[in-house]
Amino acid sequence: MRTLARWLVGLLAMIGVLAAAAVVAVVYLIKHAEPEKVAVRNGDYLVVDFDRGVSGQPPRDAIEALGRGDEYVFSDLVAALRRAAADPKISGLAAHLGGTPIPAATALELADAVSDFKKVGKKTFLFSESLDGGPGAVALAAAFQETWVQPSGLVGLRGLAIESPFLRQGLAEWGIRADVLQRYEYKSAFDSFTRDEMSPPVRENLQHLIDDVAASLNAAIARERGLDISAVAALAQRGPLLAPDALQAKLVDRLGYGAEFQAELKAAFPGAPVQADAYAATREAPDTDIKIALIQASGQIVPGETEFGPLGGEAMIGAQTVAHAIRDAARTKGVRAIILRLDTPGGDYAASDTIRQAILAARHDNVPVVVSMGNVAASGGYFIASAAETVIAGEATITGSIGVIAGKVVLDEAWNKLGVRWATLKTGETATMFSPNHPFTPLERARMEAIVDAAYADFTQKVGEARKLDAEAVDRVARGRVWSGKAAKAVGLVDDTGGLLKALAYAKRSAGIPAERIPTLVDFPRARSLTETLSDLMNGEHGEIAKITAAPLPEPLATLSAWSKLNLEKGAALMPPMVMR
């Protein structure tokens, strides 16, 4: 009896602890359901810590925001920098950047926003203990008037590199192989499973890509630092540089420590620091009768709805979620145009076509759609983008990859190693076509060839019609080739280079909105209220425990993991797993 009593007491105590924790969580969510706002006074200065990280997609609710920690939302950060540069109360900008790698396209767009402060005569300062996050980080730091580095630090100006894993031999040891069809020689998404090294066409194409991206970064550094681009390229060949060498090369302006930097800020700015996310939450008063929808989509493109794990995990673009957001925006009263911000290596072909069709439907209803590409908008991502009225890419955006791939993993040799035998009954010759227990038969391969050819023909035909290119011109830019944003503009795949603000200018122009009017940017899909969020959580609709506790995987594991959610047998338009350093 005493044991039962102790057990009941323990159970009640546990329930009490859980109830208390739930109350604390609800109070925290209520407190953080709306971003903190701040009153800006004359002489205040904006503060950004780039080491907090930047997310390309806003959180859907307070729980998802909690899972992301203190990451900035990219669109909010760019808008805050642009607005602060023009705000007479804001006297300047102070930032911190350590060893956090900054993707090239993100770095150039942020650097462009920082440059707006200098254009209006406002001071900009950046401090880094060690600026060793790579060329993107150096390009961003170069945009500041005074860049400080600790005397013991490094400046990570160096060349770019692409690394791709090749798993064929390792998988063969386990009896695992891939049976793949691809269109065409540059479409290398499955080469990791079928080859031991890069093919010559892919190697040549990717070398051109990183040469273009490196040239854009070097040009930005040279422009901001008043250096010759050849001098910057030469410095990159011997980097990373010691802080004194970087100072002598004019890549940084001061060597010093954090306390000295803070003293300099106090002397330079009469006001108080204002955090960028708090400033972003204190929005300017726009024209409420003029709206432009902003839809931000990041990750692999998959069928169905976007899964929003509350504490992070792999980013996915659910085709139905994005297509519904486009339709909803087009039907919303007062919405004059749609900006679709894409950051995706591609994914399921049919899912990409679903989003593409939603764009065409919005345009049919006389709602202009402008696509702004982030770090990457390739393959299925480019397929989507090509349907827009205007396509904007960053100079260092990775895009193109017009091609299709399909296949399956084959486990027959693995089963043999394990002593497993399968018995099969079927009513048709292609009934087991997608079974992993055998490679494609000649008949099955013929059917797959027809499926892949049809998908590729559909892809290239639609791109040609959208971009007004004939078949020969499409073939010259397609076959799986990957392009930088700058090169993509030169071959007619995008209309202009730039970022979100350039896309906004095009959207205003297409919608007939005067340049001096400030439209209200409305996020779609609509963020869920705290009540809806808590209701979903109580009903178990926020994902399984495995999803709740998942952290984003590093590349190339993130790409390989995401592939498990695609219908690869039916055709996919995606990029290979690779890391650009």
- In the chain the first and final C-alpha atoms are separated, in Å, by 65
233 within 8 A of 207, measured Cβ to Cβ: no
* Angle of the 74-86 helix axis to the 500-511 helix axis, nearest 10: 80
Q: H helices within 70-190, ranges in order?
A: 74-86, 104-119, 135-142, 168-173
Q: What is the 3-state secondary structure (H, E, C) of 280-308?
A: HHCCCCCEEEEEEEEEEEECEEECCCCCC
The reply to whether 187 belongs to the active site is yes
Spot the catalytic one: 122, 123, 187, 486: 187
The reply to whether 401 belongs to the active site is no
* Nearest by Cα to 459 from 559, 565, 384, 539: 384
Q: Give CA torsion, residues 521, 526, 530, 531, to 10 deg.
A: 140
Spot the catalytic one: 379, 386, 435, 484: 379
Cα distance between residue 436 and residue 440, in whole Å: 9
* Nearest by Cα to 490 from 220, 236, 216: 216
Please tell me what DSSP assigns to residue 376.
Answer: E
Q: H helices within 143-228, ranges in order?
A: 168-173, 191-194, 200-225
333 within 8 A of 367, measured Cβ to Cβ: no
Within 13 A of 157's CA, how many CA atoms are on the CB side?
31
Catalytic positions, written as ranges: 187, 379
